[in-house]
Each structure stands twice: as structure tokens, then as C-alpha cells.
């Protein structure tokens, strides 16, 4: 297989990271890795933040959340409960402020960003339980939040996409209405057995060794074959919420995400898949420096609006 041709601006970001001496997961402490991630996030997004009408920090049954409203409205709004990426170890609602603002503004929906607990201090299932608690709280308080309870979805990038996929399945199994699952280059399997893990094991940002380290921190000894850990292990995908699955060409997680999308489609779940060629894992966080990443939000916004508008019932 020939190496992928990366977008020149993506390559420039990777070169900048190499020149800056970015430390790999496991080479520094989790605290140092988090500080590095905060710095990277600020540099990659820059000042290109989307303006929204209001931003409110509040609490969802003990889980910190941030509510982004794109415009002032008195009608119930469509919404997305969002779980940030970062390998379950790094990241926060602050590091993903650019992504959540972009989705809120461009899709014209309310976005509720969830600040779940991080590993290794809080291993599995802490992050998942926080994600599930926040989702139920938003659904149960939809009326006072001025949200349309039939048009609330879940979403996330990378580790957050993993949480979104599991929460979507729990919603199906526990009669919590979820209209959409937005999975942005999600971690779907603990198996490390796909071709993309071989093709892109190093040199494209997120590495195979890096994912091993992240998974180890998150699992804390838990079984990687548990469907709450690896959505790929879910036997029955029927009746799941509609799905939008986004992958990057040069990403170790590409194949497992695309396989999951194909399985959902074959299980009669309405599924849209987008592979962004020339991109690497985490490319949406680079929208301040990469024009193609910025344009992707506009493209995905149309699908997000359309999917949510159909409601979970249809």
C-alpha cells in the first residue's frame, strides 16, 4: 500500500509538533500530557472560534457540563450532548471549546459539552457513567432547558466517540430517546487488529503505541471485550440511533470505525459515513490551521441538522 498523500497544511501541523518536541503518551506523566494537550489545542485552533449567543456552565447530577446556544430562541431547540476526546486521559470542555462552538453555530443546535472524569485517576467505567448520567439529565430536563426531547443526539471525537457509541446503545436499551450518534474518528475496539493499525502505526500523530497506553490507563484492568468498553463487541446493532461516522484516511482508528459504520448500516440503522482523505486523527481540532478541517464542520453541519430533525421516533 502506498503511503497516503497528506494535506499540506496537515503535514505542516505534524512538522510543527515534531519540531516542538511533543511528548508521546507514556513518556510523561498524565498531568504533563494534559498540560501539553491544552497548549496544543490553543495553538491549533487559534483565534478562529465561532461566536455563539450564550455559554453557560452548570451541573448535571454532579457532572460538570457547558451549554452552548447558537442563537436566542423561545422555541425548543435540537441538541447534541458532546463528549470530548483525549484518550480518556487528557482533554476537557475547554480544550474542545472550538469544536463545540463550531457544531453549535454551524448546525444551529444547542451543544451540551460534558466534563467527564479522566483516567488513570478514574478508570473505566467512570467516564462512561458520567457520560450516561449527563445524557439522562439533559433528556429529563429538556423542557426547562428549552430543548426538543425528541431531537437530542449524542456525539464525541476519539475517546468521546467511544463514549457516544456506548451511550447511544444504552439509550436504546433503557428507552432514553436519542435521535443521533455523531462519531468523529471514534475508538471502537480494543483489538488492535485492523490494517490501519499497521499502515499508520507511527508518523501520523496518534500512534499504535500511544493508543495502547491510552487504553491501559482507561481500562485499569477491566475486560477490553466488554461491549461497554469496545462497542465493536455489541452483538445486536438493530434499532440504534441514526449515525454519522467520520474517519480520517491516515488514522490507526480508521478501519474499526468504518467497520462499525458498515455493521450498523447492514443492521438497518440509517448511517452516513465520511472519510476525509489526506487527514489524520484529530484533524477537526486543527481547524484554526487547516482549511479542509474548517470546511468539514460546514459539511457535517448539514447532516447533523437533517438527522436530528427526523427525531428518534421516525
pLDDT at 133 over 90: yes
Closest CA relative to residue 304, chosen from 77, 139, 14: 77
Query: What are the C-alpha distances in Å from 210 to residues 45, 136, 192, 204?
Result: 23, 32, 12, 11
**pLDDT for position 109:** 98
pLDDT at 146 over 90: yes
**pLDDT for position 46:** 78
**pLDDT for position 278:** 97
The mean-pLDDT minimum among 37-51, 105-119, 243-257, 260-274 falls in 37-51
pLDDT in tens, 159-193: 999 999 999 999 999 999 999 999 999 999 999 99
Residues serving a catalytic function are: 158, 251, 281
Inter-residue contact 65 to 58 (CB < 8 Å)? yes
pLDDT at 252 over 80: yes
Average pLDDT, integer, range 141-149: 97
Q: What residue ranges do the domains of the chain occupy?
A: 8-160+209-309
DSSP 243-293: EEEEEEEE-TTHHHHHHHHHHHHHTT--EEEEEEEEEETTGGGGTTT-HHH
Average pLDDT, integer, range 264-271: 97
- Helix and strand element counts for the chain (H, E): 9, 8
Query: What are the C-alpha distances in Å from 75 to residues 109, 148, 263?
Result: 12, 9, 36
Question: What mean pLDDT, rounded, does the chain reach?
Answer: 96
pLDDT in tens, 2-44: 788 999 999 999 999 999 999 999 999 999 999 999 999 998 8
Query: What are the C-alpha distances in Å from 192 to residues 160, 185, 215, 217, 227?
Result: 18, 15, 11, 16, 16
Q: How is residue 236 written as a grid cell?
A: 445486536
Q: H or E segment at 169?
A: helix 159-173
What CATH topology corresponds to 8-160+209-309? Rossmann fold (3.40.50)
1: pLDDT confidence band, cut at 50, 70 and 90?
Answer: low
pLDDT in tens, 188-241: 999 999 999 999 999 999 999 999 999 999 999 999 999 999 999 999 999 999
pTM over 0.95: yes
Q: How is residue 144 written as a grid cell?
A: 426547562
**pLDDT for position 313:** 74
312: pLDDT confidence band, cut at 50, 70 and 90?
Answer: confident
Strands 110-114 and 63-69: antiparallel
Amino acid at each position: 500500500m502506498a503511503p497516503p498523500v497528506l494535506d499540506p497544511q496537515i503535514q505542516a501541523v505534524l512538522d510543527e509538533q515534531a519540531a516542538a518536541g511533543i511528548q508521546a503518551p507514556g513518556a510523561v506523566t498524565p498531568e504533563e500530557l494534559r498540560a501539553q494537550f491544552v497548549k496544543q489545542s490553543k495553538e491549533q485552533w487559534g483565534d478562529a472560534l465561532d461566536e455563539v449567543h450564550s455559554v453557560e456552565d452548570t451541573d448535571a447530577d454532579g457532572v460538570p457540563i457547558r451549554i452552548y446556544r447558537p442563537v436566542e430562541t423561545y422555541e425548543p431547540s435540537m441538541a447534541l450532548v458532546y463528549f470530548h476526546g483525549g484518550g480518556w486521559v487528557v482533554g476537557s470542555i475547554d480544550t474542545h471549546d472550538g469544536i463545540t462552538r463550531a457544531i453549535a453555530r454551524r448546525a444551529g443546535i444547542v451543544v451540551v459539552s460534558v466534563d467527564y472524569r479522566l483516567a488513570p485517576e478514574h478508570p473505566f467505567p467512570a467516564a462512561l457513567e458520567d457520560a450516561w448520567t449527563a445524557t439522562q439529565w439533559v433528556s429529563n430536563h429538556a423542557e426547562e432547558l428549552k430543548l426538543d426531547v425528541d431531537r437530542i443526539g449524542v456525539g464525541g471525537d476519539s475517546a468521546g466517540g467511544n463514549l457516544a457509541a456506548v451511550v447511544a446503545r444504552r439509550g436504546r436499551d433503557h428507552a432514553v430517546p436519542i435521535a443521533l450518534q455523531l462519531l468523529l474518528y471514534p475508538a471502537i475496539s480494543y483489538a488492535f487488529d485492523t490494517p490501519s493499525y499497521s499502515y499508520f502505526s507511527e508518523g501520523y500523530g496518534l500512534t499504535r503505541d500511544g493508543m495502547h497506553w491510552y487504553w491501559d490507563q482507561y481500562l485499569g484492568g477491566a475486560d477490553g471485550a466488554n461491549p461497554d468498553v469496545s462497542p465493536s463487541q455489541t452483538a445486536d446493532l438493530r434499532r440504534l440511533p441514526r449515525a454519522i461516522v467520520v474517519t480520517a484516511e491516515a488514522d490507526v482508528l480508521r478501519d474499526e470505525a468504518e467497520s462499525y459504520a458498515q455493521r450498523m448500516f447492514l443492521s438497518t440503522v440509517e448511517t452516513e459515513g465520511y472519510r476525509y482523505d489526506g487527514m489524520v486523527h484529530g484533524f477537526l481540532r486543527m481547524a484554526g490551521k487547516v482549511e479542509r478541517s474548517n470546511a468539514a464542520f460546514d459539511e457535517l453541519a448539514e447532516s447533523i441538522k437533517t438527522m436530528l430533525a427526523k427525531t428518534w421516533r421516525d
